[in-house]
C-alpha cells in the first residue's frame, strides 16, 4: 500500500486521468540471494553439528541434547532449500519474462506531505489495483506471512515479554503522539507520528532501511500504523515511527475509494 520513494517527491498520479504505473515482482537476483543466505546457514549449522557431535562422543550430555536441536535445524534448512529450488524452477518457467511479473498497477499516488491537516500526520501512500488472475489461484485472504527467521516460541515471547499476556503495559506501541522532522534534498518537514518503543536494550532494531511503508501490526492482529521512519544506530534497539492506520484508512484511502475494504470473502472454489 505504501511506496518507497524519496520524501521530497511531489509527483501525483490519479486513477482518473493518468496511465497507471506497473508493479512488478522482484526477479532472479532476490531468489539467488535467499538461497545463498540459506546455504550460509547450512554451513554454520554443519559446523555446530560437528562440534556438538564431537563433545557428545566424549560424554558431554548438554552437548548431546543441543546436538539434537542443531541437527533438526540443519535438516529443516536443507528441506527448505530443496522446496525453494523446486518453487524457483516453477517461477523461472512461468515468471521469467518481465511482463509476466506485473502483478498490478498504481492507480492513485498523492504527493507525500507532512503535518497533514488536521492531525499533522505523514501521508505517504499509494493504491495499487492488483491483477486478480495472478492472485486468486492461491489467495488465502488478507494475511501476513511471518516467515521462518524467528521461531514461534521466540515470536510469542516478543509479543508477551512479561509474566502475564494481559498486562497492558507490555505493549510497545505508544498511545502518545511523537513529533519528528524529516530531511530531504529540498529541505525538511515536520510531522506527528505514532511511536514504537523497544522492550529492552537487547530487542534489536524493530525496522531497517528499506522498511518504509511496511505494516506495523499489533498483538491482536490489528493494523496499527504504516512505518515511516526510525531513529538509532544500525543494529541497535531503536524507536520507530509510523502513520496511524485509522487515519490513513478512513480519512485518506476511504475518502478517495469509498468501496475499499480490508476484509473480504475468498472465492469458494479457490
Residue pLDDT, tens place only, 169-198:
333 555 455 665 554 544 566 788 888 877
- 118 preceded by a cis bond (ω within 30 of 0): yes
| Choice among 11-20, 87-96, 209-218 with the minimum mean pLDDT | 11-20
Per-residue DSSP letter, 252: I
Q: How confident is the model at residue 72 (pLDDT cuts 50, 70, 90)?
A: very high
Residues in contact with 75: Cβ distance below 8 Å, sequence separation at least 6, in sequence order: none
Rounded-to-integer distance, Cα 193 and Cα 171, Å: 17
Which residue in 212, 199, 180, 191 sits closest to 238, CA to CA?
A: 199
Residues in contact with 51: Cβ distance below 8 Å, sequence separation at least 6, in sequence order: none
Element containing residue 174 per DSSP (H, E): strand 173-184
| Choice among 14-28, 39-53, 115-129 with the minimum mean pLDDT | 14-28
Which residue in 191, 201, 227 sits closest to 116, CA to CA?
A: 191
Amino acid at each position: 500500500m505504501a511506496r518507497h520513494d524519496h520524501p521530497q517527491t511531489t509527483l501525483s498520479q490519479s486513477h482518473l486521468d493518468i496511465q497507471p504505473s506497473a508493479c512488478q515482482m522482484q526477479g532472479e537476483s532476490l531468489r539467488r540471494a535467499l538461497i545463498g543466505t540459506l546455504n550460509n546457514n547450512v554451513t554454520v549449522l554443519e559446523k555446530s553439528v560437528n562440534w556438538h557431535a564431537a563433545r557428545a562422543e566424549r560424554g558431554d550430555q548438554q552437548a548431546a541434547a543441543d546436538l539434537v536441536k542443531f541437527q533438526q535445524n540443519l535438516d529443516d534448512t536443507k528441506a527448505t532449500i530443496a522446496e525453494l529450488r523446486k518453487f524457483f524452477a516453477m517461477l523461472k518457467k512461468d515468471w521469467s519474462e518481465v511482463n509476466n511479473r506485473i502483478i498490478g498497477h498504481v492507480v492513485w499516488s498523492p504527493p507525500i506531505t507532512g503535518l497533514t491537516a488536521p492531525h499533522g500526520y505523514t501521508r505517504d501512500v499509494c493504491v495499487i489495483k492488483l491483477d486478480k488472475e495472478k492472485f486468486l489461484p492461491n489467495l488465502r485472504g488478507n494475511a501476513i506471512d511471518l516467515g521462518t527467521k524467528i521461531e514461534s516460541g521466540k515470536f510469542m515471547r516478543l509479543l508477551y515479554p512479561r509474566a502475564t499476556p494481559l498486562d497492558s503495559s507490555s505493549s510497545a506501541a505508544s498511545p502518545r503522539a511523537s513529533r519528528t522532522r524529516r530531511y530531504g534534498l529540498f529541505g525538511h518537514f515536520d510531522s506527528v507520528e505514532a511511536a514504537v518503543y523497544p522492550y529492552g536494550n537487547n530487542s534489536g532494531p524493530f525496522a531497517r532501511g528499506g522498511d518504509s511503508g511496511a505494516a506495523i501490526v499489533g498483538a491482536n492482529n490489528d493494523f496499527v500504523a504504516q512505518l515511516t521512519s526510525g531513529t538509532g544506530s544500525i543494529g541497535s534497539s531503536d524507536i520507530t515511527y509510523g502513520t496511524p492506520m485509522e487515519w490513513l484508512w478512513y480519512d485518506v484511502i476511504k475518502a478517495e475509494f469509498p468501496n475499499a475494504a480490508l476484509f473480504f470473502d475468498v472465492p469458494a472454489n479457490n
